Structure 1
């Protein structure tokens, strides 16, 4: 019986060092995300930008969510909150007060994402969930500043309900995105990647190289679909676990590197690559520790002492600390055990809730989650949707023209730094976007349901233009979309001009 139970839990046992690596990677991604977002403090998070607080509350607000970033419409207040989030992320990277700063980082990330839902993508959901599950994981137990104050762990393998939740969460990302891809272009025709690379708004140089080869695109489409559907199953095989884990990590790294070279997806591929680091088996971590830690030791004994969890020079000190800790905690073992059981039960309940949420759009209608149950997911933002290019690839491609009319009747394109207006297609449409947040915003800008946001963007552009005295004054600005619907068999239709919005000073 014990052997059977051990076999059942083996796929969910992780290495504490891999969890520490996951922690550092997530913290680094949070810092990178903050750095990119900080370039648009005024545009995306202040009342002077494209989504003032009054419009957010009127049009896009969910009454169950919260946001500290809605406490003020001043960009200066946003800057302070960004700084606090950066400090928390640095502390998380170093493993200082790990559980506390994990909670703070999650809280500020949720707050930030709730401030402007018009610029979010699937990677944001995953980053949020990694921090959420990280709160229940001991990812500060080694390779952290916190580890200096505690005895070395007696073993590096770790199992709990949280490790099950972490692994199942990763599987849900790929299972659900595959199950939601119900269009024949994914499972039968194999044309999904062709249509994805037909979108100039996301086409990268690597995509241009493979785009002319339809048979290659068909093979990659069907392979990607089946990989997302079946590869996660290897994480549940109870034997040869290290080998299956390494296969899963290597395949996904290749998959997401391929995505990054062909499609403009922002931080999506980096977040996904960081998410699987906690799966690295003991053999991989032993190799990394053998080759990385000695180099860290060359930087100085202080660095080595902080980041080598089993450093022999700390052994005697840890033994003494462990003896004192065991003595002082002996009277509270019962309470700690009760709290641990409560935590495990909470994690199991949350995991079941999340599984139900994910499969809600796939299961029978009578089993779907009712509205009164959804407030929990919205409140702590464990709501998630993995519909990347699902159920089919978006076909409405094109590019923006920001047609500004000067007082002397000339037309300039603000999207091309005030150059002469031309309706010719840019050599690289994707280069028109400052970052992926703007690309996502422009995608949402097209939808009829989001027509309310169009005047705010138009007026924001006018104000920014007139703040530069070198720019000629405009008497009119028109936001124009040159629509070019993707066609099969490499057919390129003539673009149609669509006036989305017009505004004047």
Structure 2
């Protein structure tokens, strides 16, 4: 019978060549696992940092809630959709134009960020935070900077990372013995490492002007930007030729240090060197330039790369604090019967054990395919930023805009701005008094302020003013002028102190090489020569 047929074929012999091939593949697999393994505890620290940054960012943004996100601010919804909206964008913040609705969404966003930080239903709240932050960034593109792009991308990749398995409320559900190892290797981890590599390597490639890689004068020009420079940065201007050495170090730090993530031997030490180097690099930026949360976001982004040897050194202290927090959480949680407890009580002991064993999910093939696509897509996007032809992206840019995985790491690229200056907001009241609304009690002056950066409430406002200086953004100046006028008039009890007219004047000062003086030039950015409606 056919079922009893015994095959007479001899089993294939394993040749020395095939053994060598298998050995080589096994070696490459081990090298890949070693090179791109991440520590679950490091990912947890990054998750906590991301949650804290989101909360801090929301607090800062909330101080200008009406100005930046409502229809009575600098970018009403009608103007957003007319000039700054991409048809592939989505945003829950565009549901309404009132500041009250925006405040409610801010609050919900903050709750999601807090749940992410403490690791409660981590994957769900990572997704919700990503949706909220994506929506927030799409609502007002004029106040965004590179750190915002990185924060958004950390949340995107975080949806696929197991960054809730330590130092979280979720981790209280499983025993540490269920995790065979703290090392984590997957396509999502590989994507995260690639993303950090892209940030710095492509940032260096985009700095293509001679002042970065030939003359080494980029930091001289950067520290002459009075809108950005800190008091410490002004002191560094006295270094003269020493700034050339600092420019050299800055450029090659971004160009070379990312390759430390790809060294296949002494991986932990090279990765630690990269993390330390980048933390010091961004501390240096924060000490010399006012760039908001940019340095903090970048520091948080590399926490997930801390190697296992570092975590093992810190483990005892981490575990002590974590165990105390979880014990407190369990004591409080035991006072209430939750849906999860009711579900647990309905399970048999054997079924509960099975849930624990399968708590750490593996990537499904469809998820792996999507992550692989995004890795290649973001690589091509960064290559396209170098003005190189990338045909596959021509008809697929909508994907990047929809998911907001579009990115551009071009701070001070290809060259540092040479134009600098300060603003004068000149109004004339109904009574005929001319005044600068930023200093209404003082005389009108066009002299350079002692600290130019003090004009800006925070980095969001600085970035907005930087953007409206560009000619292709000049149409936004009308709405800025209207906002300032209405805000001033709303505060006046005497109708004679209201201003029907406001001029936005920019005192442009061009930085010249070798500390040469440059007299400022007065430029009228906008003249609101029509009577604006009074605000009651």
Assess same fold via TM > 0.5: yes
Q: How does 1:352-371 map to 2 (within 5 A)?
A: 352-362=376-386, 364-365=388-389, 367-371=390-394
Q: Matched residues in 1 for 2:272 and 2:365: separation?
A: 31
Bigger Cα displacement from structure 2, 414-423 vs 22-31 = 414-423
Task: State the Cα deviation string for residues 299-327 of structure 1 (Å, max 9, x = none).
Answer: 89426999xxxxxxxxxx9xx99964454
Aligned with residue 485 of structure 1, among 502, 510, 521 = 510
Q: Work out the CA distance in 1 between the residues paired with 2:311 and 2:320.
A: 14
User: Contact 1:398 / 1:484 at 8 angstroms: preserved in 2?
Assistant: yes
Cα pair distance change 1:417/1:151, threshold 3 Å: farther
Q: Is residue 313 of structure 2 the alignment partner of residue 290 of structure 1?
A: no
Could you tell me which of 17, 25, 38 is aligned with 1:14? 38
**Aligned 1:90-489 pairs, distance under 5 A:** 90-152=114-176, 153-294=179-320, 301-302=327-328, 324-325=351-352, 327=354, 340-362=364-386, 364-365=388-389, 367-416=390-439, 418-469=441-492, 472-489=497-514
Alignment of 1:488-503 (within 5 A): 488-503=513-528
Alpha-carbon contact 1:95-1:145 (below 8 Å) kept = yes
Structure 1 residues 329, 398: closer, same or farther in 2, change over 3 A? Answer: closer
Distance 2:365 2:448 in 1: 61
Q: CA deviation at 1:362?
A: 2.4
Q: Aligned-pair RMSD on alpha carbons?
A: 2.3
Distance, in Å, in 2 between the alignment partners of 1:223 and 1:368 is: 35
Q: Which has the larger radius of gyration?
A: 2
Give the structure-2-normalised TM-score: 0.87
Aligned counterpart in structure 1 of residue 74 of structure 2, from 20, 30, 50: 50
Instruction: Answer whether contact 2:211 2:218 (CA < 8 A) is retained.
Output: yes
Q: Distance in 2 between matches of 1:272 and 1:446?
A: 27
Shift of 1:492: 2.2
Task: Say if 1:301 and 1:61 are closer, same or farther in 2 by CA, change over 3 A.
Answer: closer
Question: Shift in Å at residue 435 of structure 1?
Answer: 0.4
Structure 2 match to 1:26: 50
What is the aligned partner in structure 1 of residue 28 from structure 2?
A: 4
CA 1:422–1:192: 2 relative to 1, 3 Å: same
Say if 1:299 and 1:346 are closer, same or farther in 2 by CA, change over 3 A: closer
Whether the aligned pair in 1 keeps the contact of 2:169 and 2:326 (CA below 8 Å) is no
Report the counterpart of residue 41 of structure 1 in structure 2. 65
Q: Is the contact between residue 123 and residue 272 of structure 1 (CA under 8 Å) also seen in structure 2? A: yes
Give 1:288 shift. 2.2
- The whole-number CA distance in structure 2 between the counterparts of 1:412 and 1:105 is 44
- Which moved further from structure 2: 471-480 or 177-186? 471-480
Aligned equivalents of 2:125, 2:324: Cα separation in 1: 29
Q: Distance in 2 between matches of 1:150 and 1:229?
A: 42
Secondary structure of the residue that 2:503 maps to in structure 1? strand
> Does the residue aligned with 1:408 lie in a helix, a strand or coil?
coil
- Superposition deviation, residue 369 in structure 1: 4.4
Paired residues of 1:357 and 1:369 also in contact (CA < 8 A)? no
Change (3 A) 1:371 1:4: closer
CA contact (8 A) 2:174 2:356 kept: no
Superposition deviation, residue 10 in structure 1: 1.2
SS across alignment from 1:211 = helix
Q: Deviations over 1:379-421 (max 9, x none)?
A: 0100010011000001110000001112333221122355321
Q: Is 1:397–1:485's contact at 8 Å kept on the other side of the alignment?
A: yes
3-state SS, counterpart of residue 273 of structure 1: helix
Partner SS for 1:404: strand
Superposed CA offset, 1:262-301 (max 9, x none): 0111110000000000001112112222234435667894
Number of residues of Structure 1 aligned to a counterpart in Structure 2: 488
CA contact 1:150–1:322 (8 Å) conserved in 2: no
Secondary structure, in 3 states, of the residue corresponding to 1:386?
coil
Q: 1:99 to 1:432 in 2, by over 3 A?
A: same
SS in 2 for 1:108: helix
Which residue does the alignment assign to 2:109?
85
User: Structure 1, residues 19-77: CA drift from partner, whole Å, max 9, x if none?
Assistant: 00000000100111111111111101111001111111111111011111111111111
Give, in angstroms, the shift of residue 497 of structure 1.
0.7
- TM-score if structure 1 supplies the norm length? 0.92
